Amino acid sequence: MNKLWSEQNKTMQAQLKRKDTWEAGIDTLFNLRNQLMHTLTAFQEELDREEFDAIPFINADGYHSKTIAYSIWHIFRIEDIVAHTLIKEDEQVFFSGSYQERIHSSIITTGNELVKEQIADFSKQLNLE
């Protein structure tokens, strides 16, 4: 997450907490989502598989110790869990769409429990197509 996204995320969270700015918060959320999808599309077009799996700063703290593939996984699992389990109270797309099998995932969580080489190994097994 870059500084601009981080600031927009903070703005969105503040907007969603207030009734008078809730709709603006939804607009900010959709703007962030559109930016994310644009970035992911660019990654798909510009990066090769090795770049999705690279973990050059394995001993760093924070985002620097993750792969792109893992980060995408993590973001979409959180979104699916929040949107479907917490908000809609229905089945997660991950399960209803058989995504565990389709993308060859060995886990169903957000991946927070993975560290270092586990993140690298997990990333390599994912089908990103």
Residue 115 CB: number of other CB atoms within 10 A? 12
pLDDT tens per residue, range 72-125? 999 999 999 999 999 999 999 999 999 999 999 999 999 999 999 999 999 999
Q: Is 117 helix (H, G, I), strand (E, B) or coil?
A: helix
Give me the chain's average pLDDT, please: 92
Higher pLDDT, 98 or 1: 98
Task: Domain ranges for the chain, please list them.
Answer: 1-46, 48-129
Residues 30-35: what's their mean pLDDT?
Answer: 92
* 11: CB partners within 8 A, 6+ apart: 28
Q: What is the pLDDT of residue 1?
A: 56
Percent of the chain with pLDDT over 90: 84
